Structure 1
Amino acid sequence: MKQHWRQVLIRTETTLRSTIEVIDRAALQIALVVDEQERLVGVVTDGDIRRALIRGLSLETAVGEVMNKRPKVASLRDSKAQLIAMMEGHHLYQLPVIDDQGRVARLESLQALYKQPSFPNPVFLMAGGFGKRLRPYTDECPKPLLEIGGKPILETIIENFVKSGFRRFYIAVHYRAEQIKDYFGDGGRWGVKIDYIDEVEPMGTAGAIGLLPDYLPDVPVIVMNGDILTQIDFARLLAYHNEQQAIATLCVRQYEYQIPYGVVNLDQQRVIGIEEKPLQSCLASAGIYVLDHSLIKVIAEQKQLDMPTLLNQQVSRGEQVAMFPIYDYWLDIGREADFLRAQGEFTKYF
């Protein structure tokens, strides 16, 4: 619903008369009651108002007396499938999504979730790496063709994009390129169009993007590593990028790690505390990006380029680089432990 839902934000003191006008004007059949910080305190539907009037309440009654003070809500971490299951299970047509502070982030509609969109945006999949950390599995097979759940990793990635409404793919290949080309062909088996970008020599994690053809539509490009399993909502990611009006959007994942030693805290040379094996966390790049079309030319001019360098260049030029946190399932198949873990988790998430 993009920002359309903001039209139905009201306060507890709003009258039923005004609430009816808000609901009618937005045509969403619901209004969201929020406080000064836009934290959700309740919802009211046209049915709630109708029942209030039948009970004899006047149109000047404050909506706070009528609203549902314990509505069903979703979090930003809930996937599209989880949203649909929640709405179907509780017979809801709209569902507010709130952040960790209880503020309204958006309003989902069951009709919109069911609707199958179609996007003109190209998807660029990076599948040219050697997969050295996964040897001997990759001695004779490129990593994107390693099977998890009975099919290649890259096939699962493409199928997820297809389900989200993307039809145009470019795959960057280098190591054992012919095996990838032979398996996926022109994409006809999946009802999509696939072209290949041949890296004669490795060009860095972003360089091959500069080899994309000049005739691409002037829309953002989604870029993703070809060894990631995820349930991210690509349509939501693209909508977020467009709303931010950013030159690029970087997907990030919360990463936690434990220091295996006691950490000493100092004030100059004086010990002020020792913390035993503390747990640290940071935001790590998830290997998924949305790039403005103009960056294709920027990359082409530099030949060999890594993605962090590209994004740092844009930041230094004053361009906006947005951050999109991933709360859905995500796993980078970079090591043998990840590969084995994915085998056990595949049926649960895919």
Structure 2
Amino acid sequence: MLDDVEAVVLVGGKGTRLRPLTLSAPKPMLPTAGVPFLAHLLSRIRAAGVRRVVLGTSYLASTFEEHFGDGESLGLELTYVVEEAPLGTGGGIANVAEHLTSENVMVFNGDVLCGTDLGAVVNTHRHTDADVTLHLVRVQDPRAYGCVPTDDDGRVLAFLEKTEDPPTDQINAGCYVFKRSVLEEIPRGRVVSVERETFPGLLERGARVSGHVDNAYWRDMGTPGDLVHGSADLVRGVAPSAALPGPVGESIVLEGADVAKDAFVFGGTAVGRDVVVGEGAKVEGSMLFDGAVIAAGAIVESSVIGAGARIEAGAHVRDAVIGDRAVVGAHCELKGGMRIWPDVQLPPHGIRFSADV
């Protein structure tokens, strides 16, 4: 149990490339597997035994407090601290420092979906008597990320930029444990990057920076594709969460949704409230926001369908984002990252990718 550890979650940046297609709130509040994305992280923090969480918020900060309140319903004590201007990860941490009291503080990037054992990360921090401990995750292709090599004793050696020939497959997973005394040294009132300033500075002065390395589930939810796949992984139980509004499986269907008996809804699809899925429709691995309509015979794959949007009969939508209240006309075919703006109406047969006419 981590009842002697406090947590900081940095949330509320403008974030995802879905904006402004389907967003009226920060990305951590997007319905993901049936609940706001942030609820999944808070549930895992609570399950690890942490009781007090400080949310460092900026963009649309009031949205978080309106939804989560004081945290009592989650078994948490929530404190909200607002950034008047963007401060970066380090600046955001410094902005909440005066609200912390425990010796060790876990810090989370609110845009990451991760399944690591939080208790194990803290144990590594304590066992190595580290000033800061980073959760490092191994990825198949580290070229898209900066990497973090460690020695045989788990000591972080460097913070390296992206390269075509990375020396390790370990990357920063966006979860840290700080000694509070170290956290309080971060400069306040200005933009600070922990990756480019705080952590390299600690190495330069000989501080102990430890790495907790594992192969846990990890996904940066920075793109619509990652958001869709992360939601599907939550629904199917591939990514852990105690906040799901129903059992894991092929789909989660919220109250008020009407799914035809012969419709195929699978692959980790999240079906929002008052959604209609018509006869013979096929929906795979997608996010259907409240009030969306998938007409008879339509196909939706790995896509986000915004609130109140309509996919008409026979249309095929794949790897796309359909904005709130937009209409995709009958037998249209959209794929490959297409974005349809809110309230846009595509006529029947208006867009096709197939060779047929």
Q: In the alignment, what sits opposite 2:190?
A: 303
| Other-structure match for 2:33 | 149
Q: Match of 1:196?
A: 80
Q: Which runs of 5+ in 1 are unaligned?
A: 1-116, 260-276
Q: TM-score, normalised by structure 1?
A: 0.58
The equivalent residue for 1:182 is 66
SS of 2:121's partner is: helix
1:331–1:342 CA contact under 8 A, matched in 2: yes
Counting matched residue pairs gives 217
State the percentage of identical aligned residues: 27
Structure 1 position 131 matched with structure 2 position 18:
no
Contact 2:94 2:183 in 1 (8 A): yes
Q: Greater CA radius of gyration, 1 or 2?
A: 1
2:135 alignment partner in structure 1: 251
**Separation in 1 of the partners of 2:113 and 2:129?**
27
1:46-76 superposed Cα distances (whole Å, 9 cap, x missing partner): xxxxxxxxxxxxxxxxxxxxxxxxxxxxxxx
Structure 1 position 152, deviation (Å): 1.1
CA distance in 2, matches of 1:158, 1:238: 17
Alignment map for 1:231-242 (pairs within 5 Å): 231-242=115-126
Aligned-partner SS, 1:239: helix
Please, which of 169, 173, 181 is the counterpart of residue 294 of structure 1? 181
Alpha-carbon separation, structure 2, partners of 1:280 and 1:319? 23
2-side partners of 1:148 and 1:290: how far apart? Answer: 26
Distance 1:138 1:167, change over 3 A: farther
**Contact 1:212-1:296 at 8 Å conserved across structures:** no
TM-aligned CA deviation for residue 296 of structure 1: 2.6
Q: CA RMSD in A?
A: 2.3
Where do 1:197-276 residues align within 5 Å? Answer: 197-212=81-96, 214=98, 216-257=100-141
Letter in 2 for 1:289: Y
Once the 2 structures are TM-superposed, how far is the Cα of residue 181 of structure 1 from its aligned partner?
1.4
Question: Which TM-score applies when normalising by structure 2?
Answer: 0.57
How big is the shift at 1:135?
A: 2.5
Change (3 A) 1:278 1:300: closer
- Gaps of at least 5 residues in structure 2 are 144-163, 241-357
Sort the Cα spacing of 1:178 and 1:281 in 2 relative to 1 into closer, same or farther, 3 A.
Answer: same
Aligned to 2:170: 283
Aligned to 1:321: 209
Contact 2:114 2:219 in 1 (8 A): yes
Matched position secondary structure for 1:133: coil
Name the structure with the higher helix share: 1
Once residues 178 and 202 of structure 1 are traced to their aligned partners in structure 2, the CA distance between those partners, rounded to angstroms, is: 16
Does structure 2 conserve the Cα–Cα contact (< 8 Å) formed by 1:255 and 1:281?
Answer: no
- Structure 1 contact 134–336 (Cα < 8 Å) conserved: yes
Task: Return the offset for 1:180.
Answer: 1.3
Paired amino acid for 1:207: G
SS at match of 1:122: strand
Structure 1 residue 219 displacement after superposition: 1.2
Residue 227 of structure 2 is matched in structure 1 by 339
SS in 2 for 1:209: helix
Residue-by-residue CA offset, 1:7-36 (whole Å, 9 max, x unaligned): xxxxxxxxxxxxxxxxxxxxxxxxxxxxxx
- Verify: 1:171 aligned to 2:55, yes or no: yes
Q: Which amino acid in the other structure matches residue 220 of structure 2?
A: D
Q: Is contact 1:153-1:228 (8 Å) kept? A: no
Contact 1:186–1:195 (CA under 8 A) maintained in structure 2? yes
- Specify the code of the residue in structure 2 equivalent to 1:284: I
Following superposition, the deviation at residue 155 of structure 1 comes to 0.5
Whole-Å Cα distance in 2 between the matches of residues 216 and 342 of structure 1? 31
Q: Do 1:134 and 1:334's aligned partners in 2 also have CA atoms closer than 8 Å? A: no
Aligned pair partner of 1:159 in 27, 33, 43? 43
Which residue identity does 1:151 align to in structure 2?
V
Structure 1 counterpart SS, 2:139? strand
Instruction: For residues 158-186 of structure 1, give each alpha carbon's deviation from its aligned partner in whole angstroms, at most 9, with x where no partner exists.
Output: 01111110100000111111111111111
Alpha-carbon distance in structure 2 between the residues aligned to 1:206 and 1:139:
26
**Structure 1 315/184 Cα, relative in aligned 2: closer, same or farther at 3 Å?**
same
